Amino acid sequence: MTKQTTQPVDPLTLIAKLPVRQRVAALAEGLLTTNPNTRASCAMLLIEIAGYRTDPTLRTPLGSLANAWRARSSTDALNALARGWKKLDSALRPLALALGREPWINATRALAQSEHEDERLVALSIARNTADPALASLAANLLEDPSARVSKDADQTLLSMALTLLDHISPKLLGPELAAIRDHTRTPIPCDPRVLELERGAMLEAIADAAWSFAKHRRRSPLLASLLLIDHIDDPVSAAPITRMRRLLRERNHPSHDPLRTVLKRTPAPILRLCALRWTAIAPIAPACTDRLEIATDTIEHEIVLDNAHLALDPKRASAIARIRTDRATHDDPDAQSEVLPTLDILPLLSPRSRRGRLRILPLLDLPTHRRRAHFEPALADPDPAIRLPAVDLVDPIDLTDYMFDSNPTVARHAAMRWSSTGATPPTPETPSWSRRLNVAQTNTRSRDPLVRRIAEEERARLVITDPSRPESRLQARRLAHSDPAGFARLIRALFRDDDQIINAITLVCALSMERRFEQDLLAIMTREHESARVRATVVRALGRIDSIAAKRAVQAVLTDDDPRLRANAIETPHVQSDTLLEYKGDDHHRVRSSALRRALLDTHDQYTHTGAIEALREMLQDQRETHRTAAVWCAQRALERATSPYQREELKPIASMIEHIARKDHNESVRTRAAACIRRLSTITQWARTADSYEGVTP
């Protein structure tokens, strides 16, 4: 008798022979308990049953019953797939979710209301994996679940779903922990994106409700989610819930306010440091914001605040930033100090925008002088001139000297303008600060930038009184003479003994009309044998403005001097009598002749002298020496400009004709040029317009 062997029967084959309801129950059990290979087959069969649809052709009573059984079997199969969600692999989940969004939402909500803790956890897993906005209220409700496991999982699920709304935020701004939660693999339910956009408001409403009801569940994820979403969601659908979240920041006495501040201070997310900078203007939460700004653990946390340093323009934020402590330790390591601003080793890693923002934040902080200068010094060597330029406005005046030699002309000019004492009183002469500023000004006069040189020259003129050609120098001299007359006199007399400064000193005395006060000093200079003719000529001009017998004698004594400059200057003074001027019409030096004739034509009313001067001027215009003809043109121009009466104009017409002839025909180019300039000058005067018209077309 032979022994028969029986082949093992496949359980799925037996299940396939069962009625639909029993088949669904068996497949649901197999999905939860069998090995992965059989589990996939069970899931596929359940997906097939869940895909049953009612048959519209069955309109008989029996057909309606069949349709009801089909729908019931489909719902049971979908519920079985929902309970076994954690057993489905990544390839089957999209296929299962393709059965429809509405059935899956209903199935998940049913699991969330189950009495079994594991099924509520499965519902949270579905909500976390799909991140469907319609399931956010489910996770928010389970925050109050009596089971600690479910409540904790709901806390994580709600945060994960909230982070999906921040997909436009860079991972480095969220921090590694929150970025990992946001970026974990999800399987969304197939749905029209526009529908999801509309339902995003429901998710935000659920988060806002959970944050306001913190006292019931004591979970902090809704608070963290609110902090992250407040300033980064902006659309009409989200306006109302976001406004509720913002309102929570001002509720000082609300139970959630203290934990909200703790979350803001302790959560390792760089983006919260930016939120803290924005919210320093909100009084109830400002202390927590300043605490958060006191700590920066990496480059990203520094950069995100410095990139938005323009927010500190708000006065409330600026005053809050000024209260930040700069020597606070980190929470993780109390012995390690965390700088509010980046240290020098981090500074090269920052972007140009962050380095500029650092200069905006730095003046607001209460830093000791040595630390402030240590933070400003790197800006001098920054390769970006757009960073060195704002640093000029912030550094101490002692550091401006370095910026004035910057390679960028804009930076150098800006530093020179800030360093200049324009609009302010310069330091008192002979003081240490005066000496240092004068040295810097003299050095900057050699700058390659013309505007820096101009500023330096103007500053030097404000500091010294030995440059009478500059109004700034004369003003400084007047101030010194008014505030310290004795000191001013000592300084001028010291300059009289300085061979390099004596001429400037005499000119300054004349510019300030103080010749009478220093008359004895000027007379003493005239008696020095070693003085140059140039110095003595300058003294003669000054003595000519003093109405005294000694001054007159000193001036008249040099009329016979061998140096023509002394004779010319003496003739130009009122101490020389008008009736003696024609005696010098034949002098060998052109300047003496022209000065004497000019005075004879302008300062005398004697007809004889005037006629003689005109005749001498005509002779001088015909002189063979170029220097004499040039000086004669100069003298004629002065006389023609002062001719006001018709008689004078008629008398000087021959002179004007001679100048016109010289401008056209003179063989010396320099003489022609000077005569042409004289004609152009006279063309602006009405009485000589006809002469100018006749000269039209002549070029020097």
The string of DSSP codes covering 463-502 is H-SS-TTSHHHHHHHHHHHHH-HHHHHHHHHHHHT-TTTH
| Weakest mean pLDDT among 17-26, 240-249, 541-550 | 17-26
State residue 153's pLDDT score.
94
| Weakest mean pLDDT among 236-245, 421-430, 461-470 | 421-430
What are 572-614's pLDDT values in tens digits?
A: 888 888 778 888 888 889 998 888 888 888 877 777 787 888 8
| Weakest mean pLDDT among 7-21, 232-246, 424-438, 443-457 | 7-21
State residue 11's pLDDT score.
67
- One DSSP character per residue, 407-476 reads SSHHHHHHHHHHHS-TTSPPPPTTSHHHHHHHHHHHHHTT-SSHHHHHHHHHHHHHH-SS-TTSHHHHHH
**Start-to-end C-alpha separation, the chain:** 147
State residue 49's pLDDT score.
81
Task: Report if pTM > 0.75.
Answer: no
State residue 336's pLDDT score.
37
State residue 271's pLDDT score.
92
Tell me, yes or no, whether 521 lies in a domain. Answer: no
What's the rounded Cα separation, in Å, for the pair 544 and 551? 7
Tell me, yes or no, whether 644 lies in a domain. Answer: yes
For residue 331, pLDDT beyond 70: no
What's the rounded Cα separation, in Å, for the pair 587 and 623? 13
For residue 495, pLDDT beyond 80: yes
For residues 333 and 257, the model is more confident at 257
- Residue range 198-220: average pLDDT? 91
Task: Please report the sign of the dihedral spanned by the C-alpha atoms of residue 129, residue 130, residue 133, residue 135.
Answer: negative
H/E stretch holding 576: none
Tell me, yes or no, whether 445 lies in a domain. Answer: no
State residue 70's pLDDT score.
62
Q: Which of 592, 590, 640, 589 is nearest to 614 (CA)?
A: 640
- Residue range 623-634: average pLDDT? 89
* Placement of tokens 């040029």 in the chain: 673
Tell me, yes or no, whether 16 lies in a domain. Answer: no
* DSSP-based three-state secondary structure for 221: helix
For residue 141, pLDDT beyond 90: yes
* Placement of tokens 């979908």 in the chain: 78
Tell me, yes or no, whether 300 lies in a domain. Answer: no
For residue 83, pLDDT beyond 50: yes
State residue 17's pLDDT score.
61
pLDDT, averaged across the chain: 84
State residue 7's pLDDT score.
53
C-alpha distances (whole Å) from 167 to each of 90, 196, 268, 645 are 22, 14, 18, 93
CB under 8 Å to 293, separation ≥6 — which residues?
273, 276, 277, 280, 305, 321, 324, 340
CB under 8 Å to 285, separation ≥6 — which residues?
249, 250, 257, 260, 261, 264, 279
- Tell me the pLDDT band of 644, cut-offs 50, 70 and 90: low
**Whether 186 contacts 131, CB under 8 Å:** yes
Tell me, yes or no, whether 131 lies in a domain. Answer: no
Q: To the nearest whole percent, how much of the chain has pLDDT over 70?
A: 89
**Six-digit token string for 428:** 């008192």
Domain total of the chain:
1
Residue type, 648: Q
Check residue 143 and report its DSSP letter. Answer: G
Number of C-beta neighbours around residue 301 at 10 A: 24
Tell me, yes or no, whether 528 lies in a domain. Answer: no
For residue 472, pLDDT beyond 50: yes
Tell me, yes or no, whether 637 lies in a domain. Answer: yes
For residue 643, pLDDT beyond 50: yes
For residue 221, pLDDT beyond 90: yes
Number of H helices, E strands in the chain: 40, 0
Beta bridge pairs of residue 329 = 337
CATH of the domain at 617: 1.25.10.10
- Residue range 666-681: average pLDDT? 87
Q: Which of 107, 109, 228 is nearest to 159 (CA)?
A: 228
What's the rounded Cα separation, in Å, for the pair 624 and 671? 12
The residue range of the domain holding 682 is 580-700
| Weakest mean pLDDT among 396-400, 620-624, 693-697 | 693-697
**Whether 552 contacts 526, CB under 8 Å:** no
- Residue range 84-90: average pLDDT? 87
What are 350-370's pLDDT values in tens digits?
A: 888 998 988 888 888 888 888
What are 535-568's pLDDT values in tens digits?
A: 999 989 999 889 899 998 998 888 888 888 888 8
